[in-house]
Chain A
Amino acid sequence: MADKVVLLSSWASVFGLRVQIALAEKEVDYEFREEDLFDKSSLLLESNPVHKKVPVLIHNGKPVCESSVIIQYIDEVWTKGPSLLPKDPLQRANARFWTDFIGKTIYPCGSKIWRNKGDAQVQAAAKKELIGILKQLEGELGERPFFGGETLGYVDIALVPFSRWFYTYETFGRFSIEKECPKLMAWVRRCNDRESVSKVLPDPHKVYQRNCGLKKRLGLE
């Protein structure tokens, strides 16, 4: 029986984009359903009653929620494609540690920059914090082409969707990530060479427009 895979997500969601890259790496066929986050579908509310958030992967009717959980699930189910996590337990722990770090730091910090409503001090502090986070990640990458080593791995997939949000952070925060973290940007360009990344990730200008609209809608201007 053929697998039925549905992904409930939103085109600009960094967490959803992670899942899309993972599915592309494994060459899994799936149906993408765009969710309106202001008018969530009953399927989304049923599939993720605890958080009511995207992304949700529904595999043969069974939902899996939380992007980091979904990616590990994908890696464990579709074993034919490239491994997303390393085999060695210590390296796996390292990959989980940095993915956890990325998940807890970039989104909240970035939000303080672009969702800022005229508080220059908060925004300046958030900008400094974000640069610090990205420099730490640069340090962890070191001289390797990818966090996963020679190929894209769990940490790369967790981080790269944020690169399409860099333009938003830079424009609102008035700074250049290329200037502050050139090695990280070189890594971004290497990731973009992969089809699983370039075909999935949205145009950063479109993301910026969407965020401008959202900011207005939320009364944060």
Chain B
Amino acid sequence: MAEEVKVFGRWTSPFCCRVEIALRLKGVPYEYIEEDLSNKSPLLLEYNPVHKKVPVLVHGGKPIAESLVVLEYIEETWRRNPILPEDPHRRAMARFWTKFIDEKCMPIMWKSLWSEGEMQLKLMEETKENLSILERELNSKKFFGGNSIGLVDIAASFLSCWTEVLQEVAGISLFGEAKHPILFKWANEFMSSDAVKVCLPPKDELLSHFRAMKEGMSATKAGQN
């Protein structure tokens, strides 16, 4: 009998979305448990005592944390529809690009959305350059993984609805058809694929969530002045 799979996540998190996409791609049934990050469950704290964060995948009672670690675990445990190539050099390249996305693209884009003035301009430039780098890597492929969705595509899922919503909330333009046409086309292709579209949060709800977050931040700042 197959062991139970659970995902502890937060609907607003692109990191959690990554895990669900990978499970869907591989046809792995799972139970999703929504976490309130302002009031974390004892189970979450037990399963991820080091970081106390989502996502956490629990397979047969055993927890795995950190989304990219989880993706590799999913790949190694459920072999159907592989998300990594067989060739070691191509695997290394896929891992390199997922690290680039995780350690450079995403954090710098996130900071650019919430910062102001000169700092914001600087971070926006850096973000646009990072996206251009990604675009050059994608080149003429349908997906980063080639003809089918792979590890890098899944890691880049924040470029789907999140980027669109966050740009609207922040009132800045970082990523669009004009500036990054190839990557933009990829994002649409990615978002419309079966395994992905069911995992993406509804855009209007995500917009409300981040608008509220921004208002909260502005209120805190006004209170501090």
Contacts and interface: CB of A to CB of B under 8 A. Distances in A.
A65 B97 CA distance: 10
A72 B66 contact: no
Contact of A136 (B50, B76, B95): B50
A64 B89 CA distance: 7
A100 interface: yes
Q: Interface of chain B, helix or strand or loop or mixed? A: helix
Contact of A97 (B66, B77, B89, B92): B66
Given A50-B133, A59-B89, A66-B95, A100 B100 contact: no
Contacts of B62: 90
A94 B63 CA distance: 9
A65 B96 CA distance: 7
Given A66-B96, A69-B96, A92 B73 contact: yes
B139 to A, nearest CB: 15
B92 A73 contact: yes
B69 A97 contact: yes
A118 interface: no
B92 A70 contact: yes
A62 B50 CA distance: 36
B130 to A, nearest CB: 9
Interface residues of A, number: 23
Which label, helix, strand, loop or mixed, suits the secondary structure of the A interface?
A: helix
B184 to A, nearest CB: 21
A50 B88 contact: no
Contacts of A175: none
A76 interface: yes
Given A69-B99, A76-B91, A90 B73 contact: yes
B70 interface: yes
Interface in B24-73: 50, 59, 62, 64-66, 68-70, 72-73
Nearest to B130: A50
Interchain residue pairs A-B with the least CB separation, the first 6? A89-B76, A93-B73, A76-B88, A73-B92, A69-B95, A96-B69
Interface of B: 50, 59, 62, 64-66, 68-70, 72-73, 76-77, 88-89, 91-92, 95-96, 99-100, 133
Given A70-B92, A96-B69, A100-B68, 7 more contacts: A66-B95, A66-B96, A72-B91, A72-B95, A73-B89, A89-B73, A96-B72
